Amino acid sequence: MEFNVETLKEVQAYAYFAFTGLLCVILYSYIYHLYSSDKKGKTNYESYSNIALDDDIDSTPIKKDIKTDKTKIGAN
């Protein structure tokens, strides 16, 4: 099997097309995941957008730290 420049360019074009399609599928599946989890009420992404506006040291956290809650329960 002989590989010349034309064959390699053709393989490169098919690989580029396939990789671009794969990245599009990944992007749209991530967008769907964000949209569906927001609609189901699992996560409120609007609260995460306020991080840039409310970044004082004494501001309330968005989510509770699950690790600290488990250590407090285990310590009692």
Give the separation between CA 52 and CA 57, rounded to whole angstroms.
13
Q: Which tens digit of pLDDT belongs to each residue from 6-61?
A: 989 999 999 999 999 999 999 999 999 988 988 888 887 777 777 777 777 787 77
pLDDT on residue 57:
78
Per the structure, the count of domains in the chain is 1
- The range of the structural domain enclosing residue 66 comes to 5-75
Res 70 pLDDT > 70: no
Looking at residue 59, its pLDDT comes to 76
**In 1-76, which residue ranges form alpha helices assigned H by DSSP?**
5-40, 45-49, 66-75
Which amino acid, one-letter code, is at 68? Answer: T
Residues 6+ apart with CB under 8 A from 45: 34, 38
Q: What pLDDT is stored for residue 43 in this prediction?
A: 80
The pTM of this model reads 0.59
